[in-house]
Amino acid sequence: MSKLVIVAIGGNSLVRDNGRDSIQDQYEAVRETVVNIADMVQEGYKVVVTHGNGPQVGFAMQRVEIASEVSGMPTIPLVNCVADTQGGIGYQIQQALTNEFARRGINKKVASVITQVEVSKDDPNFQNPTKPVGSFFTLEQAEAMKKDHPDWVMIEDSGRGYRRVVPSPKPIDIVEKDAIKSLIDADYVVIAVGGGGIPVVRTGDNTYDGVDAVIDKDFATSLLAEQVNAETLIITTGVSRVCINFGKPNQKALEKITVEETKQYVTENHFAPGSMLPKIEASLSFLEKNGSRVIITNPESLKDAIHERAGTHIVK
């Protein structure tokens, strides 16, 4: 039986900078990323792809505000912006992978699943927004945006600039997990839990309501990996390896570390909240359930990372 790998693509990796943030630019980034995923499929791995949507949700929200101010168009709730970007990015990954398989003569089908993810309506994050969405801004730009939108919360994000943050409740169930399992069993490459999934709360007997929030895609991916019994979870980010003492003279890249060592580094505050820390916490959650290993690396190193030639590997 082929080994099942879940690959999480960061939303920021699809928008390289403010000068290259069009849909076509994003598609070009997707095309480059799926080459590495196709390599894994060609080597015999079963693959499920998830992705972030932080910048894309930010763009969608900006479009909604501009359309409302200029033309009086009805506003679109945040939860619908999450759903819209999940579908849009999923379509691009699905098409790019399908085309890459065709170029290689690989007989493999790809399907995207519009995925709802259950959260608790009592999650404390609804009162304490922490999830960055949208582009990076300078301090001056962030202060100007706060004047226009007094209810927005803007934070400094790992030295890269300022971003808006919105509620980010923890995922507790993948609603469409059985459909995703069926597609995996039918030998599809599945794209699911895009943007962390569409956040919903249970409201009665098997009924749900959408809520305005953005679920962290790494936590949702970890939960999905657990629920579909994946062996390996790969989380892509902007660096080839995780570092301790990041940005300091004694910075050290980590190649292979145990769960216990990783927990110690968390205790010593080596990983930034809102940046690397959620990826580490999601990794530990997966490994403490049924996972065998987690790899954290950048998209271009995927093929080498799966063979332990790149990336940070966290093992039991």
Query: pLDDT tens digits, residue range 265-303?
Result: 999 999 988 789 999 999 999 999 888 999 999 988 998
Question: What mean pLDDT do residues 35-59 have?
Answer: 93
Catalytic residue of the set 10, 11, 52, 197? 11
Contact 232, 295 (CB under 8 A): yes
Alpha-carbon distance 295 to 3, whole Å? 15
Between these two residues, 151 and 142, which has the higher pLDDT value?
142
CA nearest to 94, candidates 39, 51, 43, 40: 51
Q: Is 1's pLDDT higher than 50?
A: no
Alpha-carbon distance 159 to 200, whole Å? 32
Catalytic residue of the set 53, 90, 131, 311? 131
Q: Decide: helix, strand or coil at residue 54.
A: helix
Annotated catalytic residue 12? yes
**Predicted TM-score of the model (pTM):** 0.89
Q: Is 141's pLDDT higher than 90?
A: no
Annotated catalytic residue 177? no
Query: pLDDT tens digits, residue range 214-255?
Result: 999 999 999 999 999 999 999 998 888 999 998 889 999 999
Catalytic residue of the set 196, 279, 291, 311? 279
Q: What is the mean pLDDT of the chain?
A: 91
What's residue 31's pLDDT?
93
Cβ-Cβ contacts under 8 Å for 186 (sequence gap 6 or more): none
Catalytic residue of the set 10, 12, 177, 197? 12
Annotated catalytic residue 170? no
Annotated catalytic residue 289? no
Exposed/middle/buried for residue 216 (C-beta within 10 Å: 0-12, 13-18, 19+): buried
Strand order in the sheet with 256-258: 110-112, 189-191, 46-51, 4-9, 232-236, 293-297, 312-315, 256-258
Annotated catalytic residue 256? no
